Amino acid sequence: MNIPIVPREVLFGNPTNTAPRLSPDGTRLSFLAPLDGVLNVWVRPLEGGEAKPVTRDTDRGIRSYFWAPNARQILYVQDKGGDENWRLYAVDAATFETRDLTPFENVQARIVDVDKRRPNEILVALNRRRAESHDVYRLQLADGRLDLIVENPGSHAGWIADHQQRVLVATAMNPEGGADLLYRETESALWRTLLHWNEEDENTSGPVGFTADGKGLYLIDARGSDTSRLVRLDIASGKIEELASDPEADVSNVILHPDTRELQMVSFEKARTEWRVVDEKIRAHVEKLKAMSDGDFFMINRDHADRRWIVGFVKDDGAVPYYVFDKETGGTTFLFDNYPQLKDYRLAKMEPVSFRSRDGLHIRAYATFPPGAERKNLPVVLNVHGGPWARDSWGWDAEAQWLANRGYVCMQVNYRGSTGYGKSFMKAANREWGGKMHDDLVDAVEWAKKEGWADPNRIAIYGGSYGGYAALVGATFTPDLFSCSVAIVGPSNLLTFIRSIPPYWSIYLKQFHAKVGNPDTEEAFLRERSPLFKVDRIKIPMLIAQGANDPRVKQAESEQIVAAMKEKGIDHEYLLFPDEGHGFAKPANRLKFYGACERFLAKHLGGRAET
């Protein structure tokens, strides 16, 4: 390859600007940008002018924030060292005064409802009373007062508030399996079950919100269909009206009008995101916006008057451009690209591909090839997504670009269990960790070999979370297939992994038992599916990385297998980040990891490395 190296700092450092939001009154623009190397929230007048930082985080950076409906405060969540005990903070956009609204140790805050008709209060869920379950509180933004309004009996997993911000709908995990949709007519009434989703349906079903009159609910519902549909449920009669569906894909995203609660758009994620416009009043607007770019359009937020929208376009080979769209004038104003420096480099296209698994499943994947390289006998990095109940999607992927730029084909496979392809595809993954889920990855490699572009002697397996587990499985279950393995925060022992899940995941423990296995009754089965107990099969070099504060995959999951490899003299590298959790949030840590990984891959696959 003779194209320039894209520096790791460009790919994995902080964006120049990102995450723009309109203030509710439509007069100001907020966004994330570095302040002394740390992402913070900045605000400027929408029409232009000086931007000022309103937050002063000096540690992990702010990644998730939103405007309070009163248009005076910006709210954001932040944890400590990656422990995922998210605290909710409020900063005054004028005075920059910051307050911790949930100042409780080892408590996790989750946003339940924000409504412009209640500008000075929001609903937040906290596991303050019991670590295992979250209750719902009404939070007064002026003084931080918290009033308990829904006490969780232990089974509630989520809540929906009506237009008066009354919590009248809940989803509850059923002890017999699946989930129940619960409803109560008033805040003092008893909950009753509106419907039940069995274990298969529950994976791809759930409530979206109330209709404007409060008499109906929008639901994503997989009952009676392999792929989930968007429906309207009449609460009194139980009648279901289908609003949108697709035989190939689950409903991905739903946009309702914030005032009328009318359905405006629905998306289905296939090879790329497909939007269907339902509201004719916005069809011309959306079509005009989509014509602006060959990327995939998405809406970020809108002001309370619904005059202005912030929109963006996801691209596979470049930065995300953001715009303000004015519905009254029909005009668009360019704001910024999130990574403008990417324009200086030749980047790769992400190509949808597919193949059949050995048992006949249709497996979709993405391949990102080194730009300008002949597609023959190339080194391949099989980049396995986490979850596993998630998916890879088309669009910008810094890892895919990094690998392609260094001379590797990045192959990303939506193996069975990946979301978006219907409940049968998800069910096919039950009890198949280290089984047929891994077979799909092996089949992907074999398919790539037959296509001629994969060098059989230069294939790596790489991933984080479940992908980290898959990388450990690749090294222990199929050690002759891969040249090296990179496992990031990956479970090595399914027995200890399931027994050490965070307390607030205990509500989903029955799902873990059904989908993975029960350590109390199936110890032999889970040992058989755990890489730790097959360490003596490893023949390839290993790179393992772990965050010390990871609440999902504890440090012990990496330490166990590292200790076993050390005892057996197996070639390995181990990176432990003391100030990280489930992934690497700090740019310095990201750059350290990717630098080590790049050198590791170059040594064992022969690709390029930044000097």
Query: Which among 505, 504, 440, 418 is positioned nearest to 204, based on CA atoms?
Result: 418
Distance CA 553, CA 532 (A): 14
Q: List phi, psi (to 5°) of 251.
A: -60, 135
Please say if 465 is a catalytic residue. Answer: yes
Please pick, among 134, 156, 438, 582, the residue that the annotation labels catalytic.
Answer: 582
Contact 501, 465 (CB under 8 A): no
Closest CA to 549 of 577, 573, 575: 577
Q: Is 483 an active-site residue?
A: no
DSSP class of 282: H
Q: Which amino acid is at 582?
A: H
Give the contacts of 517 (CB within 8 A, at least 6 positions apart): 431, 433, 494, 498, 525, 526, 529
Query: Helices marked H in 313-435 — which ranges?
Result: 398-405, 423-427
* 126, 139 Cβ separation under 8 angstroms: no
* Alpha-carbon distances of 108 from 76, 88, 124, 125, rounded to whole Å: 13, 9, 10, 8
Which single residue is written with the structure tokens 């009043």? 281
CA distance 367 to 394: 10
Distance of CA 564 to the CA centre of its chain: 32
Would you call 518 helix, strand, or coil by DSSP? coil
**Whole-angstrom Cα distance, residue 322 to residue 338?**
8
What are φ and ψ of residue 487, in 5° steps?
-120, 120
Spell out the residues 6+ positions from residue 495 whose beta carbon is closer than 8 angstroms to its own: 519, 523, 526, 527, 530
> In this structure, are residues 541 and 604 in contact, taking their beta carbons and an 8 Å threshold?
yes
CB 223 within 8 A of CB 178: no
Cβ-based neighbour number of residue 159 at 10 Å: 22
Contacts of residue 270, defined as CB under 8 A and 6 or more positions apart, other chains included, come to 246, 248, 249
362 bridge partner residues? 356
Strand 378-384 vs strand 454-464: parallel, antiparallel, or unpaired?
A: parallel
Catalytic option among 246, 317, 440, 550: 550
The yes-or-no answer on residue 550 being catalytic is yes
Neighbours of 512 (CB within 10 A): 17
Task: Specify whether the CB–CB gap between 22 and 46 falls below 8 A.
Answer: yes
Handedness of CA 302, 303, 309, 311 (dihedral sign): negative
Catalytic residue among 465, 483, 485, 558: 465
Q: Quote the distance between the C-alpha of residue 13 and its chain's center.
A: 19
Strand partners, 301: 310
Residues carrying an active site annotation: 465, 550, 582
